[in-house]
């Protein structure tokens, strides 16, 4: 299976880059599955349903969220009707929406996508490790699904790496989101799981993690509330990770970064 995971979409520039480039990338890379984190798509905070519909129409198979999942109230009923948009699985029982989804992939194949949120320096949600473990037990890799993707939305690199090593051999890909900076540690772990600490973002990198520099920097200078943060609006870089897997085992055979457009060095798988 040929999989592309794209990092957090931030604001209009990230949305425009995704909508413009993903249809061509699907064809150029012969992609079977595209997953993107969309939790910062709506002016940097949350995801509006109309934006989610546009991403799905442009080629996303699954959209994951994170700590900004509830910033747009209108997303709550939408999460109940659209299973392909998922929020972290370790929100408490009774929280609207779903933390995982199985999608059909060309060739009579299926892929499981799970979204989880870390607890270090973030909201103290339920245990994400046990929540993921329980979900993976329902869909054994290489048997009931041909690929499994885990989006671990965390602040700390150590926690993201703990997810990678904990589920090595049980997932096709464990990929970090939330910190918006693409890390250079893409690899296949010893058990066959592809891993990268952070996928980066789909946004303008002439910014502070996707936000306009002035107001964001002043928060560090003054240590007091400042103006409302707004997404940077220059040309976006589309950042993500390409993974190729073996359908028989579900494990990764190839992993390569993707960076297209904007300020960062350009890389194609």
Which residues are known catalytic residues? 68
Comparing C-alpha atoms, which of 106, 199, 202 is closest to residue 150? 199
Dihedral (CA of 27, 29, 35, 37) sign: negative
C-alpha 113/C-alpha 84 separation (Å) is 9
CA separation, residue 209 to residues 24, 72, 230 (Å): 26, 20, 11
Which strands make up the sheet holding 62-64, listed edge to edge? 85-86, 62-64, 33-37, 2-6, 238-245, 252-260
Residue 34 CB neighbour total at 10 angstroms? 24
Comparing C-alpha atoms, which of 48, 108, 116 is closest to residue 82? 48
Backbone angles phi, psi at 137, to 5 degrees: -65, -25
* HEC profile of 182-193: CCCCCEECCCCC
């Amino acid at each position: 299976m040929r999989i592309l995971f794209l990092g957090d979409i931030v604001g209009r520039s990230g949305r425009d880059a995704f909508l413009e480039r993903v249809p061509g990338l699907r064809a150029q890379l012969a992609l079977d599955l595209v997953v993107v984190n969309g939790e910062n798509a709506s002016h940097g905070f949350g995801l509006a349903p109309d934006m989610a519909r546009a991403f799905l129409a442009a080629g996303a198979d699954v959209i994951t969220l994170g700590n900004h999942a509830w910033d747009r109230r209108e997303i709550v009923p939408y999460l109940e009707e659209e299973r392909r948009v998922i929020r972290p699985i370790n929100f408490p029982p009774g929280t609207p929406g779903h933390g995982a989804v199985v999608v059909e992939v060309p060739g009579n194949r299926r892929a499981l996508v799970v979204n989880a949120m870390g607890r270090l320096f973030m909201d103290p949600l339920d245990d994400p490790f046990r929540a993921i473990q329980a979900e993976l037990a329902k869909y054994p890799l290489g048997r009931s699904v041909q690929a499994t993707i885990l989006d671990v939305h965390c602040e700390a690199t150590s926690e993201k790496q703990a997810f990678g090593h904990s589920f090595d051999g049980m997932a096709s890909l464990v990929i970090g989101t939330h910190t918006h900076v693409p890390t250079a540690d893409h690899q296949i772990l010893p058990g066959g799981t592809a891993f990268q600490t952070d996928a980066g973002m789909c946004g303008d990198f002439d910014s502070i993690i996707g936000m306009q520099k002035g107001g964001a920097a002043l928060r560090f200078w003054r240590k007091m509330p400042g103006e409302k943060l707004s997404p940077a609006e220059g040309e976006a870089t589309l950042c993500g990770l390409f993974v190729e897997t073996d359908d028989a085992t579900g494990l990764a055979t190839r992993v390569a970064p993707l960076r297209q457009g904007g300020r960062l060095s350009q890389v194609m798988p």
